[in-house]
Amino acid sequence: MARRRTKKRTHVAPTNPNKPVAPTNTGNGSVRNPKSMVIRIGAGEVGSSVSQLASDVRKVMEPGTASRLRERRANRLRDYVTMCGPLGVTQLLLFSRSESGNVNLRVAAAPRGPTLHFRVERYSLSKDVQRAQRHPKGGGKEYITPPLLVMNGFNLATDGNAKVPKHLESLITTVFQSLFPPINPQAAPLKSMRRVLLLNREQPDGDADSFVLNFRHYAITTKTTGISKALKRLNAAEKLVHSKKTKKGGLPNLGKLQDIADYMVGGEDGEGYVTDGATSGSEAETDAEVEVVDTTAGRVQTRKTRAAIAASDNNDADDGPQPDEISAGVEKRAVKLVELGPRMKLRLVKVEEGMCQGQVMWHEHVHKSKQEIRELKERWEQRKRDKDARKKQQKENVERKKKEKSGLDKNREKDGDEDGMDIYDYDSDGYEEFDSEGLAGDAEMEANERMDDAGEWEDEKEEIARN
């Protein structure tokens, strides 16, 4: 038999999602990156706003999420939980809307939980946030790498007897930290830090037993500082000249000037001359200023040039580093956060042990005594024992039926022929009831009986004999 051809150029071999694959040049501290699915439970009932909110949250969770997930009305939670293992999904974010109109969010760790139940008290979509901005940002390369997770005010409890226990705060912190891969600050490149996800817990002033989070999503933008606006425009023009894109609006207009100094000075009197960016007065508002090493590619030097530079460095080693050498390749950049959206205000309502079903560990509105908690725990243990017993009984029944079926097949093979068919099934005594002509033969037989009763059959006999 000929060997089947396998296409290797156009088809990529399937990869195991559970196999640890190290990401390339992202500085992640973990080998296996978490994966998530953002799902609408009741896709035809949540409404367009909640559907758009789920789409915006998928962008926040990129690239480690199913961005092209399409839900159906027939899909149930069990279907998604079943596919978590083969697809390597570690978290599920479930959006739903109750009959009263409340929007709920459940954050569940697959496959055994725990599950955090939040009520979305207020939310704003990404399009609403960007519509309110003068210079919105988004749609670029921000979603290539996962965002940086910043959590503030999660640990406020002093002991385990607080309204929100200390162990519960630690559990919530661990669940949110597992949504994104950890980073290694020493190895993470600056280009991989493009977004920030901020989770800020509000201080419980009046309601001490509440856990309220503010969900914010920002893009990180940097601009060079310390130089004048004219130099910035010249740098931008140089990049445009060497790039493939042609944008005439970004080039400065020097047609009316006699010298480049007039452009830098800003006129004959020098009123527009700026020494640095700090005195220009036109700098954009920034959140912070940092010093980074310039990563631009340098010119390739020859062997003689490298030897001359090494000799000069040896001669100047005794004098100590010069100020120009310290600041060589280091530039100041202003860091600014531009909100991408969406915004959400989340209130923690309930915490369960299992995957959206299990023993309730904490509830905001329902408070039980120690005796009631003990009784509930015993009830859950008894339910678990009954479930295990049913599974064991079902397994035994399946094995017993398999054995009975195999024994019956063996007996039929002994009593029958080679094909396992009993020779007494088709006895010659039963051939009288076998109709080879089917319905047509039955109709002809009935017609002959009616002709015989009416006496018409005698005329037919004489005509047949005459012919």
Q: Give me the pLDDT at residue 217, please.
A: 94
Q: Give me the pLDDT at residue 429, please.
A: 47
Give pTM, 2 decimals. Answer: 0.65
Q: Is 11's pLDDT higher than 60?
A: no
Q: Give me the pLDDT at residue 53, please.
A: 93
From the CB of residue 261, how many other CB atoms can be counted at a distance below 10 Å?
11
Helix (H) or strand (E) holding 109: strand 103-109
Mean pLDDT score, 8-20: 59
Residue type, 355: M
Contacts for 376 with CB less than 8 Å, ≥ 6 apart: 359, 360, 368
Q: Comparing C-alpha atoms, which of 342, 345, 343, 351 is closest to residue 109?
A: 351
Q: Give me the pLDDT at residue 268, please.
A: 46
Domain range summary for the chain, segments of one domain joined by +: 36-222+340-367, 229-315+324-336, 438-467
**Model confidence pLDDT, tens digit, residues 272-329:** 444 444 444 444 566 666 666 655 555 666 777 778 877 876 666 555 555 444 455 6
Q: Give me the pLDDT at residue 316, please.
A: 61
Q: Is 118's pLDDT higher than 90?
A: yes
pLDDT band (50, 70, 90) for residue 13: low
439: alpha, beta or left? (left if phi > 0; alpha if psi -120 to 50):
alpha
Helices and strands (H and E) in the chain: how many: 11, 11
- C-alpha 212/C-alpha 118 separation (Å) is 9
Q: Give me the pLDDT at residue 340, please.
A: 92
Burial 124-161 (b: 16+ CB within 10 A, else e): bbbeebbeeeeebbbeeebbebbbbbebeebeebeeee
3-state SS, one letter per residue, for 19-76: CCCCCCCCCECCCCCCCEEEEECCCCCCCHHHHHHHHHHHHHHCCCECCCCCCCCCCC
Contacts for 104 with CB less than 8 Å, ≥ 6 apart: 95, 96, 97, 98, 117, 118, 119, 120, 349
Mean pLDDT score, 408-427: 59
Q: Which residue has the higher pLDDT, 321 or 192?
A: 192
Q: Comparing C-alpha atoms, which of 76, 82, 74 is closest to residue 94?
A: 76
Q: Is 61's pLDDT higher than 80?
A: yes
Take residue 38 and report the two structure tokens written for it.
């953002």
Q: Is 113's pLDDT higher than 80?
A: yes
Q: Give me the pLDDT at residue 279, please.
A: 41
Q: Is 218's pLDDT higher than 90?
A: yes
- C-alpha 336/C-alpha 221 separation (Å) is 5
pLDDT band (50, 70, 90) for residue 331: confident
Take residue 321 and report the two structure tokens written for it.
């580093």
**Model confidence pLDDT, tens digit, residues 421-431:** 444 444 444 44
Domain 36-222+340-367 classified CATH 3.40.50.10480? yes
Q: Give me the pLDDT at residue 183, please.
A: 85
